[in-house]
Amino acid sequence: MGVIQNILAVIVVLGVLITIHEYGHFWVARRCGIKVLRFSIGFGKPFWSWTDRHGTEYGVAAIPLGGYVKMLDEREGPVDPAERHLAFNTKSVWKRIAVVSAGPLANFLLAIVAYWALFVAGTTTVVPMVGAVAPDSPAGRAGLAPKTEIVAINGQATPSWDEVNLRLIGAIGDDSLTLTTRAEGASATREQSLEVTRFLVDQDPPRPLVTLGITAWRPQLPAVLGRVLDGGAAQAAGLQAGDRIVSIDGTLVVDWIDFVERVRGAPGETLSVLVARDGKEETLSLTPASNSLDDGRVVGQVGAGVENVSWPEQYQRELSFGPLAAVGQAVGKTGEMTVLTLDSIRKMLVGLIAPSNLSGPITIARIAGDTARSGLEAFLGFMAYLSISLGVLNLLPIPVLDGGHLLFYLVEAVRGKPLSQEVQNAGLKIGMALVGSLMLMAIYFDLMRLW
């Protein structure tokens, strides 16, 4: 069922993003007086199509890895002299620049609309309160204390843990971090400098909080089972949702974390587990299955989840804005994520971020499915970020991409004449090789994560 949800989620996400992107090209082309021959979502032979009164064919094809808008163009085939004025190649360079730019700009506009909807609807976030600090760590050496809220990082506000992680990811490669903090119940803030060396460089995946020695505060989780997975060791032992784990091998279990750690430390061992159920206590034999981690360690796993607990109101924060104020917030958020994406590309090029962080269709499908299951809020946020990424990537000055065409047209605008067809063809071949290589790398790293 999870695989089907992932597939459906990625079809929805990519379908919306591709349609909006191509519609941007289509809309501006029509207004520049260019005849559009075909508007296709997907590649290959269309399995559904229709033609409008302008002679434009609309179709949906079977390979959902992109789309295209085919315009009348003398470089791609003979054009009736009566329609020459409708051909893309006969338009001024500035109109061609407008048509090519419109696709990525439509993706940025989609992100703004998605963020606007989230800001108007309002979101409930968790206050980024520090729960514990490792003594011999950057945070510990800087004197960061538990029950301290992280108000800002490097001068940028962090109203939630999502924002904290974004700021820390944006600081990859830095040698110092400045945290603005506030003790619980206090009004005054203080700045604390954390000394780091090439922060998060070569980490795959990056683990910013672990690297700093910070554990997020969370309410204590009683060792009560919220769900038991079919076919797992917990089900085989007779454990049920609602059971409270009292002790293991005669030693009391403090909380859920204590239970998890003791299970992880006993792969393949039979444990005597005392549980409380419906006012009675019962002893069960639980044998955790062995699970191999990426680092070679083998840990125990039983296939059970914790019962959810409510967060105290003082540790929750409601973020919402009126329709007008949300516009500015949405534009700012889109700009911020655009800068973060560009900076991440720069850091990957200079070696601060490992290429293995590239994500392909498999990872996108997994995240799309996870966010869809987490609710509309998470799904919209993911779609907005993916739309920004698509817009940024398409604007990179690589032939084949929109940014490569823009580069050719800008050179033409400066020179007063286009580059020779031989130069453009050579650039397209190089661009295709580069984009193809990046896609293969992304798929390879996807498979590595999957395995």
Are 205 and 231 in the same domain? no
Q: Is 312 exposed, middle or buried (0-12, 13-18, 19+ CB in 10 A)?
A: exposed
Q: How many CB atoms lie within 10 A of CB 277?
A: 15
pLDDT in tens, 185-227: 888 999 999 999 889 887 777 889 999 999 999 888 899 999 9
Domain holding 274, by residue range, is: 225-303
Please tell me the distance from the alpha carbon of residue 348 to that of residue 317, in angstroms, as a whole number. 34
Asked if the structure places residue 120 within a domain, the reply is no
Report whether 222 contacts 256 (CB < 8 A).
Answer: yes
Please tell me the distance from the alpha carbon of residue 401 to that of residue 390, in angstroms, as a whole number. 11
- pLDDT of 253 over the 90 cut: yes
Are 243 and 209 in the same domain? no
Are 269 and 299 in the same domain? yes
Chain centroid to Cα 121, Å, comes to: 21
Between residues 311 and 395, the one the model is more confident about: 395
Of the three residues 236, 268, 303, the one that is the final residue of a domain is 303
Please tell me the distance from the alpha carbon of residue 219 to that of residue 177, in angstroms, as a whole number. 27
Nearest alpha carbon to residue 149 among 313, 309, 315, 311: 315
Asked if the structure places residue 165 within a domain, the reply is yes
Are 156 and 233 in the same domain? no
Q: What is the mean pLDDT of residues 117-146?
A: 91
pTM for the whole thing?
0.81
Q: Kindly state the tokens that stand for 384.
A: 């907005």
Q: What is the mean pLDDT of residues 146-170?
A: 92
Asked if the structure places residue 66 within a domain, the reply is no
Asked if the structure places residue 34 within a domain, the reply is no
**Least confident window among 98-107, 359-368, 439-448:** 359-368
pLDDT in tens, 373-412: 778 888 899 999 999 999 999 999 998 899 999 999 999 9
- Percent share of the chain, pLDDT over 70: 98
Are 151 and 181 in the same domain? yes
259 pLDDT tier (thresholds 50, 70, 90)? very high
Q: Which residues contact 134 (CB under 8 A, 6 or more apart)?
A: 140, 213, 214, 215
Of the three residues 254, 284, 303, the one that is the final residue of a domain is 303
- pLDDT of 1 over the 60 cut: no
- Percent share of the chain, pLDDT over 90: 59
Nearest alpha carbon to residue 423 among 389, 399, 441: 399
Are 230 and 260 in the same domain? yes
Instruction: Indicate left, alpha or beta for 226 from its phi (over 0: left) and psi (-120 to 50: alpha).
Output: alpha
Nearest alpha carbon to residue 248 among 280, 282, 271: 271
Are 143 and 209 in the same domain? yes
Are 279 and 260 in the same domain? yes
CATH number of 288's domain:
2.30.42.10
Asked if the structure places residue 337 within a domain, the reply is no
Q: What is the per-residue pLDDT for 450? A: 67
Q: What angle do CA 168, 169, 170 make, to 5 degrees?
A: 85
**Least confident window among 53-62, 245-254, 289-298:** 289-298
Are 182 and 246 in the same domain? no
What's the maximum distance between 2 C-alpha atoms anywhere in the chain? 91
Q: What is the mean pLDDT of residues 156-180?
A: 91
Nearest alpha carbon to residue 150 among 173, 125, 174: 125
Are 299 and 231 in the same domain? yes
Cross-strand bridge partners of residue 251: 248
Are 212 and 229 in the same domain? no
The number of distinct structural domains making up the chain is 2
The answer to whether 22 is a known catalytic residue is: yes
Between residues 47 and 275, the one the model is more confident about: 275
Q: What is the per-residue pLDDT for 451? A: 65
Helices (H), 205-315: 208-212, 233-237, 256-264
Strand ranges for 278-327 from DSSP E: 280-286, 289-292, 298-301, 304-306, 316-319
Question: What is the pLDDT of the chain when averaged over all its residues?
Answer: 89
Q: What is the mean pLDDT of residues 32-52?
A: 91
Upstream peptide bond of 205 is cis (omega within 30 degrees of 0): yes
Nearest alpha carbon to residue 390 among 135, 111, 161: 111
Between residues 6 and 379, the one the model is more confident about: 379
Q: What is the mean pLDDT of residues 115-143?
A: 92
Chain centroid to Cα 256, Å, comes to: 29
Asked if the structure places residue 317 within a domain, the reply is no
H or E element that contains 273: strand 271-277
Asked if the structure places residue 263 within a domain, the reply is yes
Asked if the structure places residue 423 within a domain, the reply is no
Of the three residues 216, 238, 266, the one that is the final residue of a domain is 216
Are 246 and 294 in the same domain? yes
